[in-house]
Structure 1
Amino acid sequence: MTAQPPVLPAPELRPIPTGATRPARFGLPGAMLRTARPRQWPKNLLVFAAPVAAADRGRIEGLGGALAAFAVFTLASCAVYFVNDVADAERDRQHPVKCARPVAGGELSERHALAVAVACVALAEAGALALASAGLAICVTGYLAMSFLYSATLKHLPVIELTMLASGFVLRAIGGAAAAEVAPSGWFVLVCSLGALLVALSKRYTELAGLGPAAAGHRPCLRRYTPAGLRLAQRAVSAAMIGAYLGWALLNGSDWAIDWHLVTVLPLAAALLRFDRLTGRATMARVEDLITRDGPMLGCELVWLVLFVAAGAI
């Protein structure tokens, strides 16, 4: 008989001491604030994308509505974070970084976390209704529904989970457009969708590269991905995003702003190249930190923003 090859055991996930053994920081209010993830709130600035893109000679329409949409999506995203931390508490306790989350560490009970989530959902929906924007209400409700489905089961389905993760960003942009009463163009939605997909792919690549063989134990869907495949997808999406942005600059803007919008492609391309370099390192750094804390990256973003605003102000 042919000898059977030895079966290698799956990588062991060693339990990490929970936060119950560490001193709580600022008690229950501090635990709630950290679970709400203030560092993630800048994602909700996407609600201003459509009003700024539609600015006509310095005039930004619907700024008040976009501000309200920012508050609504911030509340909705906080609700998602609280529910997600309850759903992932056991797995987070075995993660080298996420074990410090208040729910996983025992600083915030699951009952309190879910109560805060319910309150945030109620306030977000009430805010959308108070603004009398059906589009915003639909977007925030869709965002909450998809996010809760994602936390419950869809995050374990490869490719689908990437789509769900990216859709949250797109719904923010569309919700902001609805609140500001600005009709987003097809090019605008395409650029936002590709940018969101790029972020989602980068998150999975950094997790897979940073955690190594133990990655699938922390996020089962990572078994279906390979670092090479994710890197190839990242670069393909980056190239498609540049093409879509060029299409928007050439075909969707006012004649007087086309030249300025074309110039903004240069810092955007530089930012994407820098982002590709940063995510290529095997690191546990959050993708959001790569975008907001790297000096050269911030420089590219600032140049792009100045040129973009100048194009709308001429």
Structure 2
Amino acid sequence: MTAQPPVLPAPELEPVPTAAAATRAIGWPRAVLRTSRPRQWPKNLLVFAAPVAAADRGRIVGMDYALLAFVVFTLASCAVYFVNDVVDAERDRRHPAKRTRPVAAGDLTERHALLLAVACMVLAEAGAVAISSAGLAACVTGYLALSFLYSSTLKHLPVLELTMVASGFVLRALGGAAAAKVEPSGWFVLVCSLGALLVAISKRYTELSGLGAAAVSHRPCLGRYTLGGLRTAQRTISVAMIAACLGWAVLNGSPWGVGCHLLTVLPLAAALLRFDWLTGRAALSRVEDLITRDRVMLLCELVWLLLFTAGTA
């Protein structure tokens, strides 16, 4: 019999990249970007509020440092979003809109999200140290600490959780003041605090009205609120905010700019009325979008800015 040649094993071939693998390679950066919430970054523009409010006859000081403060708070807020999405992953999967978030959907692993959070925190603190601003560093550290405490525990405590959400906005404004070396007035802090609380209450109103009976399973503290109570609180704070702006214009404004500053109350009142109407018809809408994407709101904000700028020119 003729001997059969030995059968050699087939050579192992390098795996050919598939379309799915290519999609995953592109999908990870996209998931990271989505989790960092670019649409929320405009919140950090509050760091410019104090330098603009303290402008003296058109001269604004410290804007370059305020710009760095914007970057610092953007990084810090990204860290908070990464951690929040890990903590809320299970609850988000039961939410009609939030279930598509990358961590909840499995597009970004929890481990990667936490590592990115640490990196953002380190960079944020390094940015505050870079300009030798102890005030900015304190505000960023306070913002991170309160945000993580809120995510872990305090978000389940009604009313207190509203003040925690509002404090994040106020710390941004104070951080910008510290970076620009501007001394914020008491009226400035009051107006910022009322505006921040108004946004926080409006967020809960839209969640409660949009989710209905499912609201408690998504956010347990919503079971302690009523639509009527939130609506009353929103309108009461709107009135208080107008009164605070009047006090700011009369008692804290430049003598030559009191007239223009008093006129800023008109577009502010119009914006608050529009905001009240928008939140009344919104369902699961991002409150920040109501402020930054509605054309009437944007017009009111522009008129307010022009009048305020004229009062400092």
- What TM-score results when the alignment is normalised by the length of structure 1? 0.91
Q: Are the equivalent residues in 2 in contact too, given 1:206–1:282 (CA < 8 A)?
A: yes
Distance 2:120 2:298 in 1: 32
Matching residue of 1:10: none
The 8 Å contact of residues 254 and 312 in structure 2, kept in 1 or not, is answered as no
Partner in structure 2 of residue 204 of structure 1: 204
Please name the residue that 2:308 is paired with. 308
Following superposition, the deviation at residue 24 of structure 1 comes to 6.3
Note if contact 1:136-1:178 (Cα within 8 Å) is conserved in structure 2.
yes
Matched, 1:238 2:252: no
Partner of 1:100: 100
TM superposition shift of 1:297: 1.1
Distance in 2 between residues matched to 1:265 and 1:140, nearest whole Å: 31
Which shows bigger deviation, 301-310 or 202-211? 301-310
Residue 147 of structure 2 corresponds to: 147
Q: Match of 2:263?
A: 263
Taking the aligned partners of 2:192 and 2:72, their CA distance within structure 1 comes to 20
Root-mean-square deviation (CA, aligned residues, Å) is 1.0
CA contact (8 A) 1:268 1:300 kept: yes
Give the SS at the match of 2:96: coil
Verify the 8 A CA contact 2:257 2:310 in the aligned structure 1. no
Amino acid at match of 1:28: W
Do structure 1's residue 283 and structure 2's residue 287 form an aligned pair? no
**Which digits, 9 at most, give the CA deviation of each residue in 1:119-169, with x for residues without a partner?**
000000011011100100000000000000011111001011000000000
Contact 1:47–1:70 under 8 Å retained in 2: yes
Other structure's SS at 2:56 match: coil
Superposed CA deviations along residues 39-64 of structure 1, whole A, max 9, x for unmatched, are: 00000000000000010111101111
In structure 1, what residue type is equivalent to 2:246?
A: L
Give yes or no for contact 1:103–1:110 (8 Å, CA) kept in 2.
Answer: yes
Instruction: Name the structure 1 match of 2:173.
Output: 173
Contact 1:25 1:31 in 2 (8 A): no
C-alpha displacement at 1:27, in angstroms? 1.1
2:4 counterpart residue number: none
CA-to-partner distance for each residue in 1:246-272, whole Å, 9 max, x for gaps? 000000011001111001110011000
* Structure 1 residues without counterparts, runs of 5 or longer: 1-22
SS of the counterpart of 2:80?
helix
Q: Which amino acid aligns with 2:271?
A: A
Measured at CA, do residues 245 and 24 of structure 1 come closer, stay the same or move farther in structure 2, by a change above 3 Å? Answer: farther
User: Could you tell me how far apart the structure 1 residues matched to 2:266 and 2:24 are?
Assistant: 47
Q: Match of 2:65?
A: 65
Report the Cα distance in structure 2 between the residues aligned to 1:282 and 1:176, rounded to whole angstroms: 31
Q: Provide the rounded CA distance (Å) in 2 between the counterparts of 1:197 and 1:38.
A: 22
How far did 1:298 drift?
1.1
The aligned length equals 291
Measure, in 2, the Cα distance between the counterparts of 1:159 and 1:131.
36
Deviation (angstroms), 1:310: 1.9
Q: Letter of the aligned partner of 1:305 in structure 2?
A: L
Alpha-carbon separation, structure 1, partners of 2:261 and 2:90? 48
- 8 Å CA contact retained: 1:48, 1:66: yes
The 1:195/1:24 distance shift into structure 2, 3 A limit, reads farther
Distance 2:24 2:239 in 1: 46
Distance 1:78 1:116 in 2: 9
> Secondary structure of 2:90's match?
helix
Q: Which has the higher contact order (CA 8 A, sep 6+)?
A: 1
Shift of 1:26: 3.4
Question: Under a length normalisation based on structure 2, what TM-score does the superposition of the two structures give?
Answer: 0.92
Secondary structure of 1:26 counterpart:
helix
Displacement of 1:295 after TM fit?
Answer: 1.3
In structure 1, the partner of 2:158 is 158
SS at match of 2:285: coil
Name 1:20's counterpart in structure 2. Answer: none
Is 1:213 equivalent to 2:209 in the alignment?
A: no
User: Within 1, Cα distance between the matches of 2:93 and 2:25?
Assistant: 18
Instruction: Look up the match of 2:3.
Output: none
Measured after TM superposition, the shift of residue 306 of structure 1 is 1.4
Counterpart-to-counterpart distance in 1, 2:222 and 2:128 = 36
Q: CA deviation at 1:311?
A: 1.6
Match of 1:254 in 2: 254
- The runs of 5 or more residues in structure 2 that have no matched partner are 1-22
Q: Distance in 1 between matches of 2:42 and 2:99?
A: 23
Structure 1 Cα separation of the partners of residues 155 and 298 of structure 2: 31
Stretches (4+) displaced over 2 A: 23-26
Counterpart amino acid of 1:148? Answer: F
1:200 and 1:78 mapped to 2: Cα distance? 19
User: Which whole-Å deviations, capped at 9, do the CAs of 1:10-39 have from their partners, x for residues lacking one?
Assistant: xxxxxxxxxxxxx86931100000000000
User: Counterpart amino acid of 1:71?
Assistant: V
2:11 equivalent in structure 1? none
Query: Equivalent residue for 2:224?
Result: 224
